[in-house]
Amino acid sequence: MEVTIPASGRMKWLRIFEPLMIVTGIVQPLATLPQIIKLYLTHSQHASGQSLTTWSIFAIATLLWVVYGLLNRKPAIYAGNIIGLVMNLLMVNGILMHAGLTY
């Protein structure tokens, strides 16, 4: 059974969710800050416990989302992903600085 929402109802929900998703997209990547702080400032000796492969894949995937969001002119997609890209690249850089090329 498929549920359909009339166009007017869909637009109403989009007007509600668009700003919420922009805020969510900005706040969510900031959840990486504690990890970045530990990597750079307080526990850099544990950098080898971080997966360079995982954070690199996150960075590449996030870059693709940024490009996709920009091409489609969707701030809810690209705004947070730009921040996420910076966070992921900071993790990659920190791992490389403190642990070198690991997997």
Q: Where are the domains of the chain?
A: 25-35+50-103
Question: For the chain, how long is the longest CA-to-CA vector?
Answer: 56
Please name the CATH architecture into which domain 25-35+50-103 falls.
Answer: Up-down Bundle (1.20)
pLDDT < 70 stretches in the chain: 1, 3
What is the residue-wise DSSP string for 73-95? T-HHHHHHHHHHHHHHHHHHHHH
Residue 11 CA to residue 8 CA, distance in Å, equals 5
| Burial of residue 39, with CB atoms counted within 10 A of its CB: 0-12 exposed, 13-18 middle, 19 or more buried | buried
pTM over 0.85: no
